[in-house]
Amino acid sequence: MSLLVDILLVFQRHLRISLRNPLWIVIGISQPVAFLVLYGPLMTSTLSITGVAPERAWQTYVPGVLVQLCLFGSAFVGFGVIAEWRGGVIERLRVTPVSRVALLLGRVLRDVALLVVQAVLLVVVALPLGLRASVPGVLVALGVVTLLSLGLASLSCALALTVKSEDTLGPTLNTGLMPLLLLSGVLLPMSFAPRWLDLVSRLTPFRYIVDGMRSAFQGEVFSATVLSTVLVALSISVLSVLLGVRTYLRQSA
């Protein structure tokens, strides 16, 4: 109970600070919207050359952009942690009786909330461009986005608090995320890939996330693909939050 109160207090604090500067939503969403508007038409006509129907093309493309938003929107939240650490905010809070777990979760939940809002906006923007998708499917996909961003944001905070330097955090994240992104099939479906690349991609988690979200957009909700996606997202989330909690509980962090 006390933990929940702490989480809520920390969440409210961060949310208030974010809402005071609404620029985040513009900045956060401008890149995915650019991907939709400036790259989407190119992508969908390329897909249609290969025989994919236009509405299918958008159902393939939008989930990919959602995952991309999720990866880059959540993975870089650690920069804010470093700024707070530098400003002494984390230390000040650690001298109060507040739960260390709440310091992580309150903050990460704010990031998740903002990201889900951006994801919804993204889907709405895609509608006039030609996206047609199943409503329950989109809801499942948003659930996956929520889990994924919870995990990635926790991981980012944990990493930030461990390295404590922007100069290390940025390159580390980029090095880790870029191959994962390329191998996930976000930009083009992996079904176009040569066999070896397809195999390698099956060894990375985001491949399953993207595949399942595409299936969900097409109306599958209870298929094995979607179910395994949810399971992968859940595992990423649980493991990352645990790792984050461990890092925050460490006394020197």
Q: Is 21 in the site for other proteins (CB under 8 A)?
A: yes
Q: Give the Cα separation of 43 and 148 in Å (integer).
A: 25
Backbone CA torsion sign across 228, 47, 132, 65 = positive
Question: Which of 14/207 has CB closer to other proteins?
Answer: 14
Q: How far is the CB of 106 from other proteins (least distance, A)?
A: 11
Q: Is 24 in the site for other proteins (CB under 8 A)?
A: no
Residue that is written with structure tokens 């507040």 in the block: 98
Q: Give the Cα separation of 35 and 122 in Å (integer).
A: 10
Question: Which of 63/78 has CB closer to other proteins?
Answer: 78
Stretch that binds other proteins, among 6-14, 43-51, 120-128, 194-202 (CB under 8 A): 6-14
Question: Which of 90/232 has CB closer to other proteins?
Answer: 90
Q: How far is the CB of 214 from other proteins (least distance, A)?
A: 38
Question: Which of 65/98 has CB closer to other proteins?
Answer: 98
3-class DSSP state of 99: coil
Stretch that binds other proteins, among 5-13, 28-36, 129-137, 225-233 (CB under 8 A): 5-13
State which of positions 158-187 bind other proteins (CB under 8 A). Answer: 162, 164
Question: Which of 166/198 has CB closer to other proteins?
Answer: 166
Q: Is 227 in the site for other proteins (CB under 8 A)?
A: no
- Say if CB 229 and CB 212 are below 8 A apart: yes
Q: How far is the CB of 69 from other proteins (least distance, A)?
A: 24
CA dihedral 132, 137, 141, 146 (to 10 degrees): 120
State which of positions 87-126 bind other proteins (CB under 8 A). Answer: 87-98
3-class DSSP state of 5: helix
What are the tokens at 41? 């038409």
CB atoms within 10 A of CB 249: 12
Question: Which of 175/251 has CB closer to other proteins?
Answer: 251
From 6, 111, 211, 220, residue interacting with other proteins (rule: CB under 8 A): 6
Query: Residue 204: left if φ>0, alpha if ψ -120 to 50, beta else—which one?
Result: beta
Question: Which of 96/222 has CB closer to other proteins?
Answer: 96
From 86, 132, 202, 246, residue interacting with other proteins (rule: CB under 8 A): 86
Q: How many CA atoms lie within 13 A of 134 on its CB side?
A: 15
- Count of residues in contact with other proteins, rule CB under 8 A: 28
- Say if CB 161 and CB 80 are below 8 A apart: no
Q: How many CA atoms lie within 13 A of 66 on its CB side?
A: 35
Binding site for other proteins (CB under 8 A): 2, 6, 9, 13, 16-17, 20-21, 84-98, 162, 164, 251-253
